[in-house]
Structure 1
Amino acid sequence: MTPMPDESSHLILPDGDPVLTSRFAVPVLPPTFVHRGRLTQHLQQGLRDGPLVLVNGPAGAGKTFLVADWFTSARPRGSAAWLTLESSDDASGLFWAYTLEALRYHGVELSEHIGSPGLPARVDPSLLARLADELNRREEPVTLVLDEFDRITSPAVAEELHELVRHASPRLRLVLVSRSDPLLPLHRYAAAGQLTEVRAAELAFKVHETSTLLSLHGLPSSDGVVRALNERTHGWAAGLRLWALAALRAPDPESYLKEFEESDNTIADFLTVEVLERQRQETQDLLLRTSLLERIHPDLADALTGRKDAGRLLVDLHRVNAFVTPVGHSWYRQHPLFAEILRARLRARYPGLEAELHSRAAHWLGSTGLVMDALPHAVAAGDWGFAATLLVDDLAIGSLLTGRDTDRLTDLFSRMPPGADGAAPELIRAALALARHDTQRGVTHLRQAESEVRAAGGPAARLSLTYLNVLAGRLLADADRAETAAREADQVRDEDAYLLKGLESAHPEFGALLLSDLGAVLLWAGRLDEAREALQAAAEVESSPSTAGPRHESLNRLALIELLSGRLRRAEQQVGAADSEAERSGLPKTEGTGTGQLALAEVALERDDLSAARRALERAAALEAAQDDPVVSGGLAVLRSRLCLARGDVRGALEALRGVRKAAEAAGGTPAPEWLSDRAVAAAAAARLAAGDPAAAVAAVQEQDAAGPEALVAEAQAQLACGDCESALRALDRLPASAARGPAVAVAVLLARAQAATALGDDAAARRLLVRALTVAAPERQRRPFREAAPWLRRMLRSEPSLAASHDWLPAELRPAPAPGQGPAGEVPPGPVESLSSRECDVLARAAQLMSTEEIAADLFLSVNTVKTHLKNINRKLSVTRRTEAVRRARELGLL
């Protein structure tokens, strides 16, 4: 098969490495390869019978060449792709990134909407669902060969692969080439008749196949020699080939085959004697010294040998099949087993040299900009100072906190000993501690690094120090510290603009993290406009796998700011944009602090969808990071209180508010910000008012000297319940002019004023205020304030039903009875079998406007598949089968 043009080489994996297209190459069969028709026919039949074929056997059993022979000569109709796995593919994100690129490389057309994993270690299940759906739409099956599958030891990858096969069968055929049984439920496949196995017994050479192999090598193949050799090796393909190669060099090949002792026939002995020791001395030296490298570049090899002949020697080694393979772009790789044997021989022959070689490799890789490749070698050399300096001087400190290398770097530097001194090690210790939310330890390390960095640190170290101080400021809820550090960062950038511009371009996560953390602490401090500016800048940083996390979190925090400003629809749109970022970047659903879910829960509550609010609250609370973010934990406490009160649990509502104090204590003991404390005061006042104690409700506000719009509205409502209209109006008059910016805030104020006007007997003013409240609330579908105002509002609407006649979004008990001819008074069509979520209501509203699926997706910042899922759920809940029927039914139910 002719592969597609090599476009994959321009793609970057979630771990930052380029895609190695050499891993998609089908191995070329050697001239001495023995074609075994019985096995290729077995494979072909197995792929017709079921979705899974397992080719399983020990190293050297001929598994790969067998499947390569079938792939190139006998595979069934339809598309087929080949991927050779590596140990790094045990990370879920890398495995699926390479799988998708292998399919595309071999000509399997995949839609762009499938996306690609954004993190090395994880993949969003929705990506796999999209892939399964696309495969199912194909007319012909796709066969995917995964060679060296024994490198996959992750249960998560195995489970994801199993789910893909389960959902994409019969359009996906999977061939696993492995030394061991994969972590798949093979018994299920076998019980269902969907598994074909080619194991060691079947892979073993038959006598006639051994005879063919020896003949292809030009060796004598008498029956006695063939049978003896076949029996001694048990038909093991590599053993036969190794013996054949060794016999070719023997003075009497037939005698060698007869007399070769089994105890000598080990891979280690063969590789040492027949490969390593047959090379010239300079080649042996190169093989030994480069055995500690994952990948070998000729210039790097020269740095380890001290010579200039590596380029020629590597080409020669590959040419003579000496277990050295090119992997593209002038890089080579030794066979892992060969390298392991060589490393053992290196230690025996040159004690103490290994650390020096690691040090040379680290310096060469670091000098060429391959910092992430250099770090393990620096650590292996025990040079922690150099390793830390490499990371800091590359401005990669943010990689310890987000992006593709976080887990690997955290594991690497968590082993750094206390004796590693200097500014760079202290900065890394600070970053690791702050990432664990160990703020006290992190700040201590920052202090230890600060004097040295300010005195003699380079621009990258100084800029790293400023960011870590911003992060410390966020964790300590100290906006002044974070702002001061951010200003210092700007100063450092101005002083060393040329150098830092290139480093920040290579590490866009640095700027995204700094702005995101600055915006977060400003949000906690209640400086919403400044927080919005910082977070918007963070959200606009270049999209990449390393910036996906802070961009996603910034968009969610922007949603919360819109909510606090009283803009429900804008808050919802920002969460939609954050969800789109997560879906596009392949972030898992457990990523983030839960800020977006908190905003959605508040929106749902304002729209009187209590079940949706509870679900969003539970999703946010389930995130581990939510407990470490005072904005979220404090906001969830207020939300829990309001939900308790909505179901009549006054005691639970007051109990839930203790979470606000806990959030403030967790944020370094600083007082809760005004926006949070005011919301908590308003919730406490509402609970006491619901308990029938309006005086206590008034005291709850006044004792705290609360001045936010929610608290003042709560005080006004309590004063009205006390019969003190004048005090209620004075409370509302204390509202700052900016408090009415958002519709949700304005509606609450207008309703409170309307209630006061009613109590004062000014029905005309009350009517005007109510009309304005209804007009402002209608686009937002803000039902909750009207339900909470129901007693006096119901009386007003009963006397003047025309006020609500055009507002069918209001709660049913506030709407006028149906007009004559539209059914008996009070009769309501049967409701949906399950309440529509707020997002489903948004999709339904746009469907009613005759928008296409694509237009709805664009308007709500969703994928087309997500919109289709919402439409299916809407049809199910409304018991209809078509979109037009859903719209008609929704109008009957007052949902539109």
Structure 2
Amino acid sequence: MAPSDKTGQDRAVPDLDPLGDPFLRTRFALPTRPGTFLRRARLAEHLDRSRTTPLVMVSGPAGAGKTLLVADWVAGLAPPVAWLTLDAAIQGPGMFWAHLLQALRAGGVQLPADIGFPADGSRVDTALLTRLAAHLGSGGRSVTLVLDDYDRAGADLSEQLAFVLHHARPGLRLVLVARTEPLLPLHRYRAAGEMTEIRGAELAFSPDEARELLGLHGLHLTAEAARALVERTRGWAAGLRLCALAAQQSPDPELYLKEFEAGHSAIADFLLAEVLSRQTPESQDLLLRVSVLERFCADLANELTGRSDAALLLVGLHRENAFVEDLGHAWYRLHPLFREILRVHLRERCPGLEQELHRRAARWLRRFGALPEMLAHGAAAQDWENTARALVDDLAIGQLFTGLRSHDLTELFAGMEPATTSAATELVRAARDLARHDLDRGLAHLRHAEEQLAADDHGQAAARLSHALLEALAARLSGSPTRAEKAVRAAREVLPEVPERLLDHHPEVPALLLTHVGSTWVWAGRFDEARAALAEVAGNSGGAPTAVPRQESLGHLALIDYLEGRPGRAERNAFAALTELDRFGLREPSGSGLGRLVLAAVAVERGELRRAQELIDQTPRAAPQDPVTAAGRSIAVARLLLARGRARAAAAVAEEALPTDVGSRWARSQAALVTSAAHLAEGRPDKAAEVLRDMADDQPACAVGAARAHLAAGNPLEALRMLDTIGAAEHVGPAVRVRATLLRAQAAHRKGDGATARRLVAEALRGARRDRLRQPFREAGPWVEPLLKAPPLQQLAAGWLLPGAATPDPAAELAPVLVEPLSGRERDVLTRLAQLMPTEEIAEDLCVSVNTVKTHIKSVYRKLAVNRRHDAVRRARELDLL
């Protein structure tokens, strides 16, 4: 719209506005900055760069600090500088231009009388605007004009202002301060590079700025507390200042800032008055109702309001900077403090409505497939039946065990009423109890769920597969292969009925099922079947959702390797298990840690007793989630005690953790091996042999243990007979064979056959060197030490078993060489990698960023010529860097 062609009568006296009222000087005065005002250099520098642009726009929500920022900046500019604060009284073009002319005069701009003055508050003539633009454009000095609260100006004023700005250049620089974008042709200024903008995101305080601001109020926060406060306030200036003022009255300011209730505070008074009350009744109702949502779109808002125009209302609220944030793709969210305050206001204004809104939101979200948000709203509405059914029907019950949403889901259903009974609610209760390792309660709920499913004629394939998954977990916790086989049969029967999209979306379900079944078969000693199931899980990458079952499967595979006497392969699988969760930033599940326990047992085999103790200490002390893990802990602790010469304590650990009636033969054999070794240490070889008598026939390690006892008792022929039984046994690794070979060497040594003894010790050294198995030689006794120290055996033992160097053996493996030395910081990172610390903990421990740690790790890998954590640690140990 072009400026009006109608002519208004000029007034000779400009001390009164067109309505005849005196001008209020406060409208033209530069706002005073308080003593606690923080001048932020980054924003001031941004504004300083605007000297070449005719238009500057500073926009943001109420209380964002716009006015004080601009007032502080223009106070340092060369005059003339004019300031006008608009308010509700300045209505109509005549009133606006009269005040603008008066602002220019108050700012030191000499305006000639022939420019004129509006006589009518409702209009202004074209000639006045033309003369004003011509005068400003022909002046010697550029005028800076600030219009504060410009969002109060109308569309016709913006067109008139654009006309003057365009024709007054370069004599006018216009600075607009507003909550909303003005109706000027901003696209033209942006395209021409003639506009400087500071918007709400840039106005937000950073954590460092927030700390500095609060310091001006006498409050000194830690960096963590400042980050938390900025996260909650989104760096909103008024919120920070109001928080600071309130915290000054608190005996513990930092605690107050962490826990204050925004719904009953000065912040609430500010937002309700400055934001909510300025909206139309329709927008107020929409804001109150969507306050129950973390995020929302127009359709969801319509569902909650019963209206159909939410899209227009939301666009308007966002444009007005009414604390409605645009997330993109037509989704929005409320500023967290504003949302918190609105929810309190909703409860007070409309008691009982909040639960109904949650119910409506849950129904809408369920229809559109937003399960996580649907579950949260269903629980808030206490609609347990539909909420549990949604979790089960979506096959999402496995997420209770994956570490991604486990805690959230457990907390979500913590308040589920016991009176709610259905197959879905019973399955959720069973999952919750089994996740806490409460087997008895979990089994009771599984029985109830099974009864409900049997009585239901609607199929419910997802529910039946969920039931099979939980049955497999119950089998694992109870060590029952019969229950595991039943779960596998049930899963195979129902899998063809489950929609493929659900299985594709939830790869954790089959992975967890195979892991639970594999663990049960490990407990039963069915190692071949267990290895097949666990290897399938470990070899299929499903990303973060399957990280926990992969970690647990790798840990169980490591245990099988250890039990079969393959410490090197056990170590590789155990390291892979530990790094699996680290890749996705997940924490180890409570009661887990089998991989770390296997590493401890391997460390004992290598004589690294301090490292073994550290690994055991790092293992979570919560109750193990299954008997396999419990047995793994018992093995590691008992073996460590034996290696330290505490035989009686080792036997006590084995007997307490693995009583004689335990259902796993290998677990019983491990306890028997420890007990037998304890008897030997205390001089009772006959008892040592008796303990292993029933297990030596099918357990190679027990046969070696029994042979050791018979040899100590003076029965070498029986000892050799026992050793002959393992010759053709399958799955016998170097740890078992090295011990068997040393016993044969000891028997030959006692007979005086030194040549055979030396040959067999050499064979044992070659078998032990790759895996650095030192403990078997320490267990062998003093007879072997002179042989090891004499050539040629000394050459085989030097460097890894005996200290000192030896003449290189052409057939021996070349030790790795570190071409480029590690820096001090890289050594710090490497030490913590060896301690199995996650990347985030290393960063926190070293007071550096996570990205810096990742850079150091890459450098360590490059210098050690490896690609993975456990390879780096192994290579570092070979190079004596650890």
Structure 1 counterpart of 2:471, one-letter code: N
Measured in 2, the distance between the counterparts of 1:676 and 1:873 equals 36
Q: CA deviation at 1:434?
A: 0.5
- Per-residue deviation, residues 30-55 of structure 1 (Å, max 9, x unmatched): xx99897999984339999xxxxxxx
Q: Which residue of 2 aligns with 1:445?
A: 445
Measured in 1, the distance between the counterparts of 2:503 and 2:621 equals 30
* Cα distance, 1:297–1:776 mapped onto 2, change above 3 Å: same
- Per-residue deviation, residues 67-125 of structure 1 (Å, max 9, x unmatched): 99999xx9xxxxxxxxxxxxxxxxxxxxxxxxxxxxxxxxxxxxxxxxxxxxxxxxxxx
- Per-residue deviation, residues 187-208 of structure 1 (Å, max 9, x unmatched): 999xxxxxxx99989979xxxx
Measured in 2, the distance between the counterparts of 1:342 and 1:524 equals 55
Q: CA deviation at 1:478?
A: 0.9
Measured in 2, the distance between the counterparts of 1:178 and 1:872 equals 53
Measured in 1, the distance between the counterparts of 2:603 and 2:389 equals 49
SS in structure 1 of the partner of residue 296 of structure 2? coil
Q: Where do 1:285-684 residues align within 5 Å?
A: 285-336=285-336, 338-339=338-339, 343=343, 352-456=352-456, 457-496=459-498, 499=499, 501-588=500-587, 593-620=592-619, 623-625=620-622, 627-661=624-658, 671-684=662-675
Work out whether residues 388 and 425 of structure 1, in 8 Å CA contact, stay in contact via their aligned partners in 2: yes
SS in structure 1 of the partner of residue 645 of structure 2? coil
Measured in 2, the distance between the counterparts of 1:350 and 1:840 equals 58
Indicate the larger mover: 351-360 or 610-619.
351-360
Runs of 5+ unmatched residues, structure 2? 1-28, 46-60, 77-200, 228-234, 243-265, 809-826, 836-857
Structure 2 counterpart of 1:536, one-letter code: A
Q: Where do 1:30-41 residues align within 5 Å?
A: none
Q: CA deviation at 1:407?
A: 1.6
Give the TM-score taking structure 2 as reference length.
0.63
Measured in 1, the distance between the counterparts of 2:759 and 2:417 equals 72
Measured in 1, the distance between the counterparts of 2:601 and 2:707 equals 22
Q: Which residue of 1 aligns with 2:792?
A: 802
Measured in 1, the distance between the counterparts of 2:757 and 2:474 equals 51
* Cα distance, 1:355–1:705 mapped onto 2, change above 3 Å: same
Work out whether residues 295 and 331 of structure 2, in 8 Å CA contact, stay in contact via their aligned partners in 1: yes
SS in structure 1 of the partner of residue 634 of structure 2? helix
> Which residue of 679, 685, 691 maps to 1:688?
679
CA RMSD for the aligned pairs? 4.6
Measured in 2, the distance between the counterparts of 1:434 and 1:636 equals 21
Measured in 1, the distance between the counterparts of 2:202 and 2:552 equals 38
Measured in 2, the distance between the counterparts of 1:746 and 1:318 equals 74
Instruction: Say which one has the larger Rg.
Output: 2
Q: CA deviation at 1:818?
A: 9.6
* Cα distance, 1:446–1:554 mapped onto 2, change above 3 Å: same
* Cα distance, 1:838–1:650 mapped onto 2, change above 3 Å: farther
Q: CA deviation at 1:331?
A: 0.9
Measured in 2, the distance between the counterparts of 1:579 and 1:264 equals 48
Indicate the larger mover: 32-41 or 727-736.
32-41
* Cα distance, 1:313–1:647 mapped onto 2, change above 3 Å: closer
SS in structure 2 of the partner of residue 806 of structure 1? helix
Q: CA deviation at 1:402?
A: 2.3
* Cα distance, 1:398–1:648 mapped onto 2, change above 3 Å: same
Structure 2 counterpart of 1:708, one-letter code: Q
SS in structure 1 of the partner of residue 440 of structure 2? helix
Measured in 1, the distance between the counterparts of 2:362 and 2:268 equals 38
Structure 2 counterpart of 1:492, one-letter code: V
Work out whether residues 612 and 838 of structure 1, in 8 Å CA contact, stay in contact via their aligned partners in 2: no
Measured in 2, the distance between the counterparts of 1:771 and 1:66 equals 84
Measured in 2, the distance between the counterparts of 1:680 and 1:264 equals 65
Give the TM-score taking structure 1 as reference length.
0.62
Measured in 2, the distance between the counterparts of 1:727 and 1:414 equals 61
Work out whether residues 147 and 176 of structure 1, in 8 Å CA contact, stay in contact via their aligned partners in 2: no
Structure 1 counterpart of 2:517, one-letter code: L
Measured in 2, the distance between the counterparts of 1:201 and 1:650 equals 65
Measured in 2, the distance between the counterparts of 1:42 and 1:148 equals 11
Q: Which residue of 1 aligns with 2:3?
A: none
* Cα distance, 1:298–1:335 mapped onto 2, change above 3 Å: same
SS in structure 1 of the partner of residue 650 of structure 2? helix
Q: Which residue of 1 aligns with 2:868?
A: 861
Work out whether residues 37 and 213 of structure 2, in 8 Å CA contact, stay in contact via their aligned partners in 1: no
Q: CA deviation at 1:388?
A: 0.4
SS in structure 1 of the partner of residue 770 of structure 2? helix
- Per-residue deviation, residues 690-737 of structure 1 (Å, max 9, x unmatched): 212211211222266674222211111111112111211222233373
Work out whether residues 612 and 837 of structure 1, in 8 Å CA contact, stay in contact via their aligned partners in 2: no
Structure 1 counterpart of 2:324, one-letter code: V
Measured in 1, the distance between the counterparts of 2:554 and 2:521 equals 15
* Cα distance, 1:694–1:853 mapped onto 2, change above 3 Å: same
* Cα distance, 1:334–1:587 mapped onto 2, change above 3 Å: closer
SS in structure 2 of the partner of residue 780 of structure 1? coil
Measured in 1, the distance between the counterparts of 2:445 and 2:668 equals 33
Q: Where do 1:107-126 residues align within 5 Å?
A: none
Structure 1 counterpart of 2:685, one-letter code: P
Work out whether residues 685 and 701 of structure 1, in 8 Å CA contact, stay in contact via their aligned partners in 2: yes
Work out whether residues 682 and 701 of structure 1, in 8 Å CA contact, stay in contact via their aligned partners in 2: yes
* Cα distance, 1:768–1:626 mapped onto 2, change above 3 Å: farther
Work out whether residues 400 and 406 of structure 2, in 8 Å CA contact, stay in contact via their aligned partners in 1: yes
Runs of 5+ unmatched residues, structure 1? 1-31, 49-58, 75-143, 151-172, 190-196, 205-261, 665-669, 820-833, 842-850, 878-896
Q: Which residue of 1 aligns with 2:132?
A: none
* Cα distance, 1:597–1:703 mapped onto 2, change above 3 Å: same
Share of identical aligned residues, percent? 40
Work out the number of aligned pairs and report it.
636
- Per-residue deviation, residues 803-852 of structure 1 (Å, max 9, x unmatched): 34333146439x99999xxxxxxxxxxxxxx9x999989xxxxxxxxx99
- Per-residue deviation, residues 195-238 of structure 1 (Å, max 9, x unmatched): xx99989979xxxxxxxxxxxxxxxxxxxxxxxxxxxxxxxxxx
SS in structure 2 of the partner of residue 554 of structure 1? helix
SS in structure 1 of the partner of residue 332 of structure 2? strand
Structure 2 counterpart of 1:601, one-letter code: A
* Cα distance, 1:766–1:658 mapped onto 2, change above 3 Å: same
Q: Where do 1:731-746 residues align within 5 Å?
A: 731-735=722-726, 737-739=728-730, 741-746=732-737
Q: CA deviation at 1:487?
A: 3.1
Structure 2 counterpart of 1:728, one-letter code: A
Measured in 2, the distance between the counterparts of 1:316 and 1:45 equals 30
Q: CA deviation at 1:430?
A: 0.2
* Cα distance, 1:793–1:385 mapped onto 2, change above 3 Å: same
Q: Where do 1:12-411 residues align within 5 Å?
A: 42-44=39-41, 62=64, 184=222, 267-269=271-273, 271=275, 273-277=277-281, 281=282, 283-336=283-336, 338-339=338-339, 343=343, 352-411=352-411
SS in structure 1 of the partner of residue 326 of structure 2? strand
Work out whether residues 423 and 453 of structure 2, in 8 Å CA contact, stay in contact via their aligned partners in 1: yes
* Cα distance, 1:705–1:265 mapped onto 2, change above 3 Å: closer
Q: Which residue of 2 aligns with 1:240?
A: none
Structure 1 counterpart of 2:485, one-letter code: E
Structure 2 counterpart of 1:564, one-letter code: L
Structure 2 counterpart of 1:485, one-letter code: A
Work out whether residues 371 and 390 of structure 1, in 8 Å CA contact, stay in contact via their aligned partners in 2: yes
Work out whether residues 751 and 770 of structure 1, in 8 Å CA contact, stay in contact via their aligned partners in 2: yes
